[in-house]
A and B are shown apart, each in its own frame.
Chain A
């Protein structure tokens, strides 16, 4: 799915996404959203340049968001195959791993500690875990369903409570990291231990050791 940036020209975006019929509906929704919200914003700025914090309470914006939220999963459910879901899941964990790897390199001393870079990694992790990951774990996407493509064990869907506990542990570790990453190496290290421990605890029971 393409995310169209506000600064990108709409003609440019149409050219980019035009021929892709699969993504067409999503793109149109996205473009409508971008155009309407930016129009609303500029109109509001003209009317009341000092009050930008009211954006979130705007009823029109709420309606748009609600429509978008309802439309996107419905469209996705039609478009996404089990393989696509596995790819999205792996892409998600690739990003989680990339950000965690950056923090781990500092915690281990492989690269020099940099408060700004560490905070950025931690902020990105917080952003990642705020995604609605449930659809990345759609039923029918275990390594029993797709041998050789994923290491996600069927027990994820059989022991949902246990799996959710591990997810909560990861969320807690990411929250700890968000508070610790910028506070020096001595704060980063124990937070890294908690974060890596959350990775391990889930890999042990819910991820196969090989494809």
Chain B
């Protein structure tokens, strides 16, 4: 497990870049999100499976946030969330055709991680509070809030799903960009935990 401030230390010692919890949560999120999104868009009118997929996404977000405070160094928010100057400084070097070799999330990627967790949380919350007035797909928390709130939640749920799809596409585009342009493989470490 990498520790300390030297971002090269883990790499030199051949330590684990992404711990097993981060990796399992990442790929579980891929499956749960794809299932929830696909069922929401193309699934049956009785959305029980979409609900379960959504609960799973919610659980993954909660666990990831907890892990962001108690997990190992590369998983912790305190280690990768950076201020505007660090983000701008990293972004300025982004077009260079060489690997970034960041040990963990780079400052721009960190921005994305926080953003996607926030939007996922909003999406799960809006689903839990939605009342589509079809009497079979009512969010389990809709009965505890006002009718207006249930309708606001309903009107947010679909635009947020589109936003999340765009975020996924940006995420994949960034991976392709790092691989093709910068010659850096980001996928293998998320599977094995180690840099290839």
- Distance of A169 from chain B, by nearest CB (Å): 10
B154 within 8 A of A: yes
List of A residues within 8 angstroms of B132 by Cβ: 199-200, 203
- Distance of B141 from chain A, by nearest CB (Å): 15
- Complex Cα distance, B133 from A199, in Å, reads 8
List of B residues within 8 angstroms of A195 by Cβ: 135-136
The digit string for A162-201, where 1 denotes a CB below 8 A from any CB of B, is: 0000000000000000000000000000001101111111
| Shortest Cβ distance from A210 into B: residue | B155
Q: Is the CB of A104 within 8 A of B151?
A: no
- Complex Cα distance, B44 from A24, in Å, reads 49
Taking residues whose C-beta sits less than 8 angstroms from the other chain, chain B's interface range is 10 to 19
Q: Is the CB of B154 within 8 A of A192?
A: no
Q: Is the CB of A100 within 8 A of B155?
A: no
Contacts A100-B135, A193-B136 given; does A200 touch B45 at CB 8 Å: yes
Q: Is the CB of B133 within 8 A of A97?
A: yes
B155's partner among A193, A200, A201, A209 (CB-CB below 8 A) is A209
**Which residues of B are in contact with A by a Cβ distance under 8 Å?**
44-47, 132-137, 151-152, 154-155, 157-158
What are 18 A-B residue pairs whose CB atoms fall within 8 Å in the complex?
A97-B133, A100-B135, A104-B136, A192-B135, A192-B136, A193-B46, A196-B134, A196-B136, A197-B45, A199-B132, A199-B133, A199-B134, A199-B135, A200-B136, A200-B137, A210-B152, A210-B154, A210-B155
**Which residues of A are in contact with B by a Cβ distance under 8 Å?**
97, 100-101, 103-104, 192-193, 195-201, 203, 209-210
